[in-house]
Amino acid sequence: MLFGLTGGIACGKSTVAGFLKERGVGVVDADQVAREVVLPGTEGLRAIVDAFGQGVLAADGTLDRKALGARVFGDQAARQLLNRLTHPLIRAASLRKAQEMTGFELIAYEAALLVEAGHADAFRPLVVVIADEPLQLARLMARDSLSEVEARARLAAQMPLRDKAAAADHVIDTSCSLQDVRARTDEVLEKIRRAYTSG
C-alpha cells in the first residue's frame, strides 16, 4: 500500500522517513525523483529549456538550478509553469519507482508539495509532519545557512502548516526529542498497518 508523507520545510520529514525505513517501510523520495526527471537527455529538461531558454543550462548541459530558481522565484506564473511541466513527470516516475519496490507491504511517498499540488487524495492515508514555528525557523537557518530574514521569507512562501495538517489523516509533531519523534512515528505506522491489514 502506498501512503503519503509530507510536511513543512525543516519540520523533520526526512527524519520521519528514516524512522519509517528502519521499520521496514519503503520510501520513494520525490525530491530525488525531481532531480532525475531533469537530467540531461530527459523530456523534463527539454521542456524546461523550451519554456525558459538556454540560460537555465550549465556549461556541461545539466540544469542550472540557481539560474532556474532566479527565473521562477517571485514570479508566480513562471513557478506555476515550471510545476505544470515537472509535476506530472515526477508523479509518473515516482509511481513507477513504487511499483518497482517489491517486498514492501507499505511504501511512503515523501513529497514536500503533496497538498499544494492537489495530490493529497491520491496518497491516502496522508501523514503530515509539523513543528513549532520557532523550532522550524531555527532548523531552517542551521540547515541552509540562512539569516533569520531569509529563513522567514522561505517560511512565508510556504503553505501554512495548519492548512497542511488539516489535510492529514495523521499528524506527527516533531517539536520534541528524537526519541519522542521515533515513538510518534511508530504510533502512526501502527495505525496505518492496522487499517491496511483490516481493509
Q: What is the pLDDT of residue 4?
A: 96
The mean pLDDT of 90-109, rounded to a whole number, is 93
Q: Are 73 and 101 in contact (CB under 8 A)?
A: no
The one-letter amino acid code at 175 reads: S
Most confident of 78-82, 109-113, 176-180, 192-196: 176-180
pLDDT digits (tens, 9 = 90+) for 11-31: 999 999 999 999 999 999 999
pLDDT of amino acid 70: 83
* Confidence tier at 199 by pLDDT (50, 70, 90): low
- Nine-digit cell string for 67: 539560474
DSSP 55: G
Report the C-alpha gap between 31 and 183 in whole angstroms: 26
Q: How far apart are CA 182 and CA 129, in angstroms?
A: 12
Among the listed residues 184, 182, 180, the one whose alpha carbon sits nearest the alpha carbon of residue 171: 184
- Domain positions in the chain are 1-25+105-199, 30-103
Q: Is the pLDDT score of 180 beyond 90?
A: yes
Give the residue-averaged pLDDT of 182-191: 98
pTM for the model stands at 0.87
The span from the CA of 131 to the CA of 134, in Å, is: 8
Q: Identify the CATH number of the domain defined by range 1-25+105-199.
A: 3.40.50.300
The set of residues, in sequence order, having a beta carbon less than 8 Å from that of 156 and lying 6+ positions away, is none
